[in-house]
Structure 1
């Protein structure tokens, strides 16, 4: 992960000097859940509401292809009902409601469809995230309700995760963007040996804006 972060940071610093680099912000709601497996048995999960907020870059790479890194806060989580007992969260838990506050760094490539100022685009690439804090609420077999902060360690929940991201949207001539996004977790949130496999799933819609775009004015006057 350190190699990934250092590589992205070095590339961003290099591209920062590129006079054609654009910077912007984005935000939007998302539905979040997880692929949850215990010893190969898929558990029943439900979606929760979350959101993301962050900054983005767009740097020309080749033709209609751009490097489009992003750094952002994202709220993730899931609801799960267990058919087997597992730790974490607790050997006697029958369900769990988890909310996570994460910081994510994404190294994306963007392809623009066409050369018009207003155009559709796709983005895709990997991301690394840090689980900053988390809260879990679960019920035990005896009916006891537990609400506590999540514990991150080598034998509990993992502090770091990895995802694949995909975006499809529209970018206007003024730099306004709107896009649908999907997150496919490839790294488990759990570090426990013999514990569950928990991989994030999320989809949503975000709106963003690149700064410094000059308004394009088309002269429709007749030439003599």
Structure 2
């Protein structure tokens, strides 16, 4: 009986979802990010992101926008990095972090052109500088959890996004001497298909 009830609820959900407004698209843009922590320069560096998105209407002015993005963050270590972490390589100042990110945003339409967006972003570290530490340890944790907030302008199939990103996790995987967190902005151009 539970199986039949579950199947019926699933059927109702899928029927409702199929009647909802649904669209997909591609996007690309710039990341203007810094890593906070006394081991890193206090400056924003440019990276990029690219990927795809879907927009699922859930009624009224609300929709859900899941995305899958390749995100690249760049930063520089501060001169104090070698003093804090004795096993660090001298001269390893430029750091690139490549993430596979999945933002899950709630959109609220203010009008036909403008939507406000907010939601979490889950990121998995795909690649990073392996030469940051002499002993081959990983300097960065394998994942990050962030919150996003911003706006989207829809001009037909063209979508312009501006978002603020704040990392909530400490991504330092060496020790607890210094907390490393990301923050910054994402600017992107999307095209609905």
TM range (shorter): 0.7 to 0.9
1:193 to 168, 175, 186: 175
Name 1:86's counterpart in structure 2.
84
Matched, 1:18 2:18: yes
Aligned residues, how many?
Answer: 178
Query: CA–CA distance in 2 between the matches of 1:206 and 1:93?
Result: 35
Structure-to-structure mapping, 1:100-119, within 5 angstroms: 100-114=97-111, 116=112, 119=113
Report which of the two structures shows the higher radius of gyration computed on alpha carbons.
1
CA distance in 2, matches of 1:151, 1:15: 50
CA distance in 1, matches of 2:101, 2:15: 19
Partner of 2:157 in structure 1?
A: 175
Q: Which residue of 2 aligns with 1:48?
A: 45
RMSD across aligned positions (CA): 2.9
Flag structure 1 segments of 5+ consecutive residues without an equivalent.
Answer: 1-12, 139-145, 212-224
Task: Provide Cα deviations, 1:165-221, integer angstroms capped at 9, x if missing partner.
Answer: 12213102x22111212211111221233332111122132000122xxxxxxxxxx
**C-alpha contact (below 8 Å) 2:116/2:150 kept by paired residues:** yes
- Please give the alpha-carbon distance, in whole angstroms, between the structure 1 residues aligned to 2:86 and 2:64: 38
Aligned residues of 2:41 and 2:78 also touching (Cα < 8 A): yes
TM-score normalised according to structure 2 size:
0.79
Residue of structure 2 equivalent to 1:99: 96
Displacement after TM superposition at 1:34 (Å): 1.2
C-alpha distance in 1 between matches for 2:27 and 2:90 = 38
Aligned to 1:10: none
SS at structure 1 position matched to 2:24: strand
Query: Are the aligned partners of 1:127 and 1:165 in contact in 2 as well (CA < 8 Å)?
Result: yes
Tell me, yes or no, if the aligned pair for 2:41 and 2:75 is still in contact at 8 Å.
Answer: no
- In terms of fraction of residues, the more helix-rich structure is 2
Q: Are residues 1:163 and 2:146 paired? A: yes
Query: 1:71 matched to which residue of 2?
Result: 68
Gaps (5+ residues) in structure 2? Answer: 1-12
Deviations 1:145-171 (A, max 9, x none): x9x8x743xxx4211111111221310
